[in-house]
Amino acid sequence: VQVAWEGFRPQTRQGLDEPVPYDRVTYHPDAREIEPRLQGEFALALVVLEQRLKAAEQRAEGSVIAFGPR
């Protein structure tokens, strides 16, 4: 671990479109240099996750169970 994001404070926001304040803890001297890349990769990972979830929903199959007299 080189960087940790902790102490998220979403309750301080006035709206859902505002950033969430957090504390950054660095454990490596180069962490300051790689953090912008980490944040960018995290955002891309969220997009990929959303796409995978949508694809899984489209593939999900269901069945209909008939209720009533036989």
* Per-residue model confidence as pLDDT tens digits over 11-52: 999 999 999 999 989 888 888 888 888 888 988 999 999 999
Please give the DSSP secondary-structure letter assigned to residue 24: E
Q: What is the pTM of this model?
A: 0.52
Residue corresponding to tokens 């008939």: 66
- Given the DSSP bridges, would you call strands 3-6 and 23-26 parallel, antiparallel or unpaired? antiparallel
Q: Which helix (H) or strand (E) holds 12?
A: none
Whether the CB-CB separation of 41 and 62 falls below 8 Å is answered with no
Please give the DSSP secondary-structure letter assigned to residue 10: G
